[in-house]
Chain A
Amino acid sequence: MKKIVKYVITDILRNKIVLVYTLFLLVSSFSVFSLEDNSSKGLLSLLNIILIVVPLVSIIFSSIYVYNSAEFIELLVSQPLKRKTIWLSLFTGLSTSLSIAFFIGAGIPVLIYQANMIGFTMILIGLLLSIIFVAIAMLATVKTRDKAKGIGAAIMLWLYFSLLFDGLVLFLLFQFADYPMEKPMIAISAFNPIDLSRILILLQLDVSAMMGYTGAVFKDFFGTYAGIIFSFAILVLWIVLPVWYAARKFNTKDL
C-alpha cells in the first residue's frame, strides 16, 4: 500500500496542475491579507476562496485523475493485491497531495497572519473540505464508467453543494416562514459540508453577533464543545461514508 501511495503522490506532485493550484492559493491568500487593513477581514475574504475554490479543484482534479489512471488501476488489479488496498491507497494519495497543496497555499499565510483559534479552525476545515471532495469525487467516478458523464456528475455535485443546496434552503425557509426554523436549520446544515464549515468559521469570528436570534441559536449549539465535536464528527463522516461506499462498489466493479 505504501508503495502505491508514494507512487500516486509523486505522480500528482509532478503534475503541473497541483503546483499551479498551490501557487494560486498562495498568491490569493497573501494578497487578501495584505489588501485588507485588518486581518480578520482578510480571513473573511479567504473564507470565500476556501468554500468555493477548494471543493471545486478537489472534486474535478480527483475525478479526472482517477479516470486518467484507469489503465494503471487495471494493471494494479492484475497484481496480487486486494482491490480495497488499491482503492484506499489511491484515495490516500489524492487526498494527501491536495491537502499538502492546500496547506502550503492557504495554511502558511493564515499561520503567518492569524495564528489563533480561528486560523487553526480555518486550516483544519480547509483540509477536511479537500479530503471530503476527493471522497465524493471517487464515489462519482466509481458509479459511472463513462469519463464525460463522470466529470459532469462531479461538476454537478460541486454546483449542488455550493449553490443549489443553499437555494433549496432558501426555498424551505420561505415555505416554512411561519415556523421556528432555527433548530431544524442546524440539522439541515449537516447535509452539506460546505454550509457546515461556513457556519463553524463564521461563529468563531465576531460577526456572529449580527446574525441576531439565528446566530444566538447557532452559537448555543456550535459554540459548545459538544457542538464542535459533533460538527467535526459530521465532517469526518462525510469522508468515511463516501470512501467506504465507493470501496465496496469498486470491490465488485467490472473493470
Chain B
Amino acid sequence: MRSLLFIMSVFLYVGATAKTIHVGANRTYKNIRAAVDAALAGDTVLVDAGMYKEKNLVIKKSIVLKGINQPVLDGEKKYEIISIMADGTVVEGFRIIHSGISSMEDLSGIKVYDSKNVLIKNNVLEDTFFGIYIQNGLSCTIENNQLTANGKEEQQSGNGIHCWKCDSMRIIANKVTGHRDGIYFEFVKNSIIWRNTSTKNIRYGLHFMFSNDDMYVSNIFSNNGSGVSVMFSNRIKMFSNYFEENWGDASHGILLKEISDGYMQGNHFNKNTSAIFMEGGNRIYMTYNTFENNGWALKIQASCLDVVLEHNNFSGNTFDVGTNGSLVQNTFNNNYWDKYEGYDLNKDKIGDVPYRPVSMYSMIVEKYPPAMILFRSFITSLLDKTEKILPSLTPENLKDNAPLMKKAF
C-alpha cells in the first residue's frame, strides 16, 4: 500500500512539473524558438497552425513538439529545419517545407544527432534535401510521415529517410516520393521497415548497405529509377513486399549484391525489367514469392552459392532465369513455371520431367547484348525449342527437378 502511494505520488509529481507551452499568433510565445528555449525537459510545446520561419530550430532538451492542424515550418531554402540532439524527443504534426541544399552538411527536414527513443510522427515534408536523417540513433521511430521532393538529378537531391549507424529503428507507414533513395540504411542493425510506400524516387526505393539483421515487411516499392538495392548485408528478412513497375535499361525489382543468409517470403514482383538480380549471394532462401510479367524473373550470376528457391510462382515472364556461367550451385525445387511443357503421369501434381528455366536465347543475350535485336524473332524461338530437346549451351544443372503442375499457392 505504501509503495503504491509512493508510485502514485511520483506520477503526480511528474504530472505537476511537465507543463504545456503554447505557441501561436495570439499566444505568449509568437515563435517556436522562444518556446523551446523556455521549455524544460519533459515539457510539451503545442504549436498553433500558421507559418513559422525559425531558421534552424535546435532541440537540446527532451521535449514534445507538437503541431495542431499542421503548422508550417519554412526553411527558406537555406537552413536545416529541425535538429534534434536530445533523447526521447517527439516531433509530431508539422508541415516542413523548403530546406536548404548542401551536400557538405546534408541539410535535412528533420535531423537527429546521437539520440535515442526519438519519435517522428505524422509530419508532411515537402521540397526538403534530405527528408528525415538519423545519425547514430538508437531505438527511434519514424511513423506515418509523408515525404515529397521533386529532385531531378541524383547529385541535386538527398534521401527520403536516411539512417546511418543506427540500431533498433522502426520505420513504419511512411510515404516517400521524388527523393534520391526513398529509404537509405547504412550500418543499421536490428531494425524493421514496415508498411512503407516508396515510389518514383530517382535512384532506389530502398537502399541497404552494410546493414545486418534487418527485416522489411509489407512495403510497396514501385516506379523507382532502379528499384531496390540490398548490398553487403547479412541476415536480412523480407516478407510480403511489392516490387512493381521498375522498367528501365538498368532497372531491377531488387538488386541483391553480396547478401548472406537472406530469407524472402511472399513477395510480389510485377512488371520489372529484371525482378531479382543476384550477385554474390550466399544461403538465400526464397519461398512463396510471385513473379509475374517481368522481363527476367531472376538473374542469378554464377557467383551465387546455395540459393534455394521453393514453391514460387513464375508466370508471364519473358525470361524465367538468366545466368552468366555454367557453374550452378543453387537449388530450384517445386516451383510453378507457366512455360513448363512436361506431363504428370502419376497425378501427384509434380511434373515428371525436369524444367530448365534458362532458355538458349537468354544465354546468348547475356553473352552478346546486341543480340537483343533478335528479340521475338522466328529464329530465336526455333533455337529455344531445339535447345529444350538437346541442351548444349544452357547450364546442365540449372533445373527444377520437381516442377509443379499447378500454381504453388
A positions within 8 Å CB-CB of B? 41, 44, 47-48, 51-52, 162-163, 166-167, 169-170, 173-174, 177, 181-182, 185, 189, 195, 198-199, 202, 206-207, 209-216, 218
Contacts and interface: CB of A to CB of B under 8 A. Distances in A.
B68 interface: no
A177 B368 contact: yes
Contacts of B318: 207, 210
B372 A211 contact: yes
A173 B372 contact: no
17 contacts: A48-B378, A162-B378, A166-B379, A170-B364, A177-B368, A182-B370, A195-B373, A206-B247, A207-B318, A210-B296, A210-B318, A211-B372, A211-B375, A212-B372, A213-B249, A213-B369, A214-B369
A162 B377 CA distance: 8
A206 B368 CA distance: 22
A241 B367 CA distance: 37
B375 A163 contact: no
A113 B371 CA distance: 31
Chain B's interface size range is 20 to 34
B248 A52 contact: no
Interface in B365-406: 367-380, 382
Contact of B249 (A162, A174, A215): A215
Contacts of B295: 207, 209-210
A174 B274 CA distance: 24
A231 to B, nearest CB: 14
Contact of A166 (B368, B369, B378): B378
Interface in B248-264: 248-251
Interface of B: 247-251, 273-274, 295-296, 316, 318, 364, 367-380, 382
Given A210-B273, A213-B249, A185 B373 contact: yes
Contacts of A162: 378
B247 A209 contact: yes
Given A163-B382, A206-B247, A209-B251, A214 B376 contact: no
B370 A166 contact: no
A196 to B, nearest CB: 11
Closest 5 CB pairs of A and B: A210-B295, A166-B379, A209-B247, A214-B372, A181-B370
A239 B382 CA distance: 29
Contacts of A166: 374, 377-380
B368 A174 contact: yes
B272 to A, nearest CB: 9
Nearest to B246: A209
Nearest to A48: B376
Given A182-B370, A207-B375, A210-B295, 5 more contacts: A166-B378, A170-B371, A189-B373, A202-B375, A215-B249
Nearest to A177: B368
A169 B372 CA distance: 11
A12 B381 CA distance: 34
A185 B316 CA distance: 29
B366 to A, nearest CB: 10
A209 B248 contact: yes
Contact of A185 (B251, B296, B370, B378): B370
A198 B369 contact: no
A218 to B, nearest CB: 8
Contacts of B251: 209
A177 B376 CA distance: 21
